[in-house]
Structure 1
Amino acid sequence: MNNMLKKSIAALLSVLALCASHIQASEIEAIENVIKQSEAAVNSAAPDKWAEIMYSDKVIVVGEGAPASIRGLDALMSTIKGVTSSVKRCSINVNDARVTDQISWAFATWMCQPTEGEPFSVRALYVLEKEQSGWKVTAEMYTMGEM
């Protein structure tokens, strides 16, 4: 292979790597935006908006102290309504995120001030799928405490 062809291939690979890095960064930003919009919905006591922004209809949620997994958005709605009615304010920080073509994951920490009682933190792992309307959580696992 001649030197000019090698340089051309190397330049092309560099451009492709830069494009892939930019695409991944914009997808991570999109996921972070979903989580921040969900935070705003929680703080506005808007359970339907939170559900619409964040969760897929086929979501599965399991967490600390839960007797069984919650399957489907309809089944999750009572928990979502319970959270939005029992907190004064929550902040959600994305601790880390990874993106693939169709499935991604994010680790996040919720810090909440309930309407009564002591503040609490929740660690969550979200698995997100790219749907027509954007990134949606299809699986969530949580436990109490900070990252």
Structure 2
Amino acid sequence: MQQSDELNVALRERLDVLEALWKEQDASGIVKELYTNDTEITGAGTPELYSGSAALAELVAGMLGDTRSASIRIDRLRALVPTVAYTWVTWSVQPKDGETFNMKSLFVWKLESQGWRIAADMYSEGVIPG
């Protein structure tokens, strides 16, 4: 298996954890399992740059509130150095009421002692083009 294949598998495993915790509506678990201590997140319609466990837990809890589940597809992956990579991803989000909708994110990943974690996330509506 090539290095990029190994990285894809490792990051896919992390996203599988995110999907499972999303389904469980576990905001604190998502923050603990997916983010670094200094992750920064913002996106379209979000005036703030969220950082720190408490702020991230509040943001994620708000996102979870109106949804049942989310699935995430890795559209593009690039390793920058052995311990840093980024992915463009497309989310398919199932709300509690209404139609499934898509979001897209740029995740910057960092390899830490506990494994790969998201160091930054910029999100918006839509899908990553093919």
TM-score (norm 2): 0.89
Matching residue within 54, 58, 81 for 1:78:
58
Specify which structure has the higher proportion of helix.
1
Identity rate, percent: 24
Contact 2:102 2:126 (C-alpha < 8 Å) held by counterparts: yes
Q: 1:112 is matched with which residue: 76, 93, 99? A: 93
1:137 is aligned, of 110, 115, 118, to: 118
Which residue is 2:41 aligned to? 61
Asked if 1:45 is matched to 2:20, the reply is: no
User: 1:77: Cα distance to partner?
Assistant: 0.7
Letter in 1 for 2:115: G
**Please, which of 90, 114, 123 is the counterpart of residue 70 of structure 2?**
90
Inter-partner Cα distance in structure 1 for 2:89 and 2:57: 20
Superposed CA deviations along residues 77-133 of structure 1, whole A, max 9, x for unmatched, are 111112223211211111111122121001111111111233221100000111000
Q: Hey, what's the Cα distance between the residues in 2 that align with 1:73 and 1:93?
A: 25
Unmatched runs of 5 consecutive residues or more in structure 1:
1-20
Higher RCO, Cα 8 Å, sep 6+: 2
Paired residue secondary structure (2:2)? helix
Q: CA deviation at 1:72?
A: 2.0
Q: Shift in Å at residue 50 of structure 1?
A: 1.5
Which has the higher mean CA deviation after the structures are superposed, 68-77 or 55-64?
68-77
Unaligned runs of 5+ in 2: none
2:25 & 2:118 partners in 1: Cα distance? Answer: 20
Q: SS state of the match for residue 82, structure 2? A: coil
Letter in 1 for 2:33: I
User: TM-score, normalised on structure 1?
Assistant: 0.80
Larger radius of gyration: 1
